[in-house]
A = this chain, B = another copy of it.
Amino acid sequence: MKELLNKNDEASRPIGVFDSGVGGLTVVKELNRLLPNEKIIYFGDTGRVPYGNKSKETIIHYSLQVAYFLMKKKIKMLVVACNTASSVSLPTLKRHFHIPIIGVIEPGARSAIETTLKNKIGVIGTLGTVRSNAYKKALKKIKGNVNVFQDPCPLFVHLAEDGWNKNKIAKMVADEYLKPLKDKNIDTLILGCTHYPLLKDVIQKSVGNKVVLIDSGKETAKEVKRILEKKRLANNHKMTEKNHSVFYVSDFPHKFKEVSQRFLSKELKHVHKVIL
């Protein structure tokens, strides 16, 4: 009985979601849809964004700082909704904290393996993500003989953030970046950066309609649902006004509110600035 009460108490705690900026909101959107009763505490490290051009040591250092902050908010699970941080920080985070922690790499990799028919998968992401080979390793772990072709697309993040995600220039940049992958005849492409779904249309046009795009963020939300249910940590009580999700950023709460509309298609109420 006592154990059940503890479980209930634990289940009512929030899920922590962390990203270097706004990109992780694509994961939040999917979490809201799949798990409408869950309260989310989000941290966007907008004061140090982007992570993609930083070194491994620096990304781990920043990730630990953010995770400590979220742990103090008594989260029941941590979602690293940033491909770069997932690529390099996950093992360290798992060693430090003893709640379920997942990143976006494994769910994206698993879905890609399930999708590919030709056994040829492309991966695009920031420099940090591609250099880490995290997707390649995760894909090879599931299926040793899969062919993986990677390509960093550093400009995509900035095109997405500046709202240049559908114009002629975006298409040209996409053509330039994606040509090598197209030439390899991939049939599945992992969008290995939470910003890239905003450029989905031009990416799809560049690689052609036969290539299936994998949105790692979406796959991650599904995985969060599976884990919470398996561990009996899902919240079954309807969410009320009182336990609304809260958003923290390390800079520019107003800009975050503004941009988040594009990601979540709704207005955020509680965005707070904190210095870590």
Contacts and interface: CB of A to CB of B under 8 A. Distances in A.
Nearest to A275: B61
Given A169-B172, A173-B169, A252 B154 contact: no
Interface stretch (A1-9, A157-165, A182-190, A198-206): A157-165
A55 interface: yes
A242 interface: no
Number of copies of this kind of chain in the complex = 2
Nearest to A49: B53
Contact of A159 (B155, B164, B251): B155
Contact of A158 (B47, B155, B250, B275): B155
Contacts of A58: 47, 250-251
A172 B169 CA distance: 7
A48 interface: yes
Contact of A55 (B55, B161, B173, B251): B251
A48 B48 CA distance: 5
A257 to B, nearest CB: 13
15 contacts: A46-B54, A47-B48, A47-B55, A47-B58, A53-B161, A54-B251, A58-B250, A58-B251, A154-B158, A155-B155, A155-B162, A155-B164, A158-B158, A169-B169, A169-B172
